[in-house]
């Protein structure tokens, strides 16, 4: 559950504190947004509401700007992201896998940001953050070329998944259409994501890990694992 503060802006002239509420997920949150929107009596031409999440950053409760919204005359949510909010807040959004580059339209960006906020083990918060970090490190010459290959990247992911008892499921997901779409969804994941996709294509063609047993997965990990300087983190509440 996350607490949110709303600030109402009649006639688009700045926000005044309006209310605080809690939500369990994005659907719950959107229900409250609609409730409080109509409670203000605003129309989409006469005002807007700013939304802030109350999140602990560096042991301090911060108001994280999530965006601002209105409901149009058809009762449809229209939302935009907030402007740049300073290094500390932007670094927090980066740390949970949010980067506005390469998403969709404004409403999609807004909903994506909220999904990441609620779903702490969203692939973009776990693998996405890791792929971005190892890509950045590689491009800054902090990872040797010999270590930065698809097999090593896959072995790191499977090693992490094995620690949580889900290595076969992780491999199956990476081989699926959904996994491929995830890897291609952010420019910031490449070249790590492309090297990983190339390795997955290779093992699929060669049936190297078809119906993988625990022994075969462990053998693949031991033969290909190389340190990449960044650990994958699972966020456990």
Least confident of 30-34, 151-155, 213-217: 213-217
pLDDT of residue 85: 60
Exposed, middle or buried: residue 84 (CB in 10 Å: 0-12, 13-18, 19+)?
A: exposed
DSSP, collapsed to helix, strand or coil, labels residue 79 as strand
pLDDT of residue 144: 78
The Cα–Cα gap between 158 and 68 comes to: 40
Res. 235 pLDDT band, cuts 50 70 90: low
Q: What is the pLDDT of residues 131-159, one digit of tens each?
A: 988 998 888 887 778 888 999 999 999 99
- Helices 26-40, 106-118: axis angle to 10 degrees equals 120
Nearest Cα residue to 112 out of 128, 121, 124, 129: 124
The Cα–Cα gap between 189 and 134 comes to: 9
pLDDT of residue 116: 83
Question: What is the average per-residue pLDDT within 111-136?
Answer: 86
pLDDT of residue 192: 93
Question: What is the average per-residue pLDDT within 38-65?
Answer: 84
Q: What is the pTM of this model?
A: 0.72
Query: Which position has the higher pLDDT, 143 or 98?
Result: 143
Nearest Cα residue to 70 out of 40, 96, 97: 40
| pLDDT of residue 34 exceeding 90 | yes
Please give the structure tokens belonging to residue 77.
């949510």
Q: Are 9 and 49 in contact (CB under 8 A)?
A: yes
Mean pLDDT of the chain: 85
How many Cα atoms occupy the beta-carbon half-sphere of 148 within 13 Å?
A: 21
Residues 6+ apart with CB under 8 A from 102: 185, 186, 187, 188
* CA 14 to the chain's CA centroid: 29
| pLDDT of residue 236 exceeding 60 | no
The Cα–Cα gap between 62 and 64 comes to: 6
The Cα–Cα gap between 50 and 15 comes to: 7
Res. 168 pLDDT band, cuts 50 70 90: very high
Helix (H) or strand (E) holding 62: strand 60-71
pLDDT of residue 27: 92
Nearest Cα residue to 122 out of 209, 197, 26, 4: 26
């Amino acid at each position: 559950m996350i607490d949110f503060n709303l600030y109402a802006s009649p006639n688009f002239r700045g926000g005044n504190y309006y209310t605080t509420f809690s939500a369990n997920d994005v659907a719950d949150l959107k229900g409250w947004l609609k409730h409080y929107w109509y409670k203000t009596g605003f129309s989409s031409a006469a005002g807007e509401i700013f939304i802030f999440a109350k999140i602990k950053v560096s042991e301090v409760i911060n108001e994280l700007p999530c965006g601002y919204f209105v409901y149009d005359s058809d009762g449809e949510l229209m939302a935009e992201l907030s402007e740049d909010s300073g290094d500390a807040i932007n670094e927090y959004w980066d740390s949970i896998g949010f980067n506005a580059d390469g998403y969709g339209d404004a409403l999609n960006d807004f909903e994506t940001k909220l999904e990441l906020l609620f779903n702490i083990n969203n692939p973009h918060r776990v693998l996405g953050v890791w792929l971005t970090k190892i890509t950045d490190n590689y491009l800054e010459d902090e990872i040797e070329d010999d270590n930065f290959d698809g097999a090593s990247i896959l072995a790191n992911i499977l090693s992490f998944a094995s620690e949580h008892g889900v290595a076969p499921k992780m491999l199956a997901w990476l081989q699926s259409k959904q996994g491929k779409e995830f890897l291609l969804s952010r420019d910031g994941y490449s070249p790590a994501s492309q090297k990983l996709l190339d390795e997955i294509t290779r093992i699929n063609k060669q049936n190297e890990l078809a119906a993988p047993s625990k022994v075969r997965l462990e053998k693949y990990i031991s033969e290909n694992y190389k340190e990449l300087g960044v650990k994958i983190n699972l966020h456990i509440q």
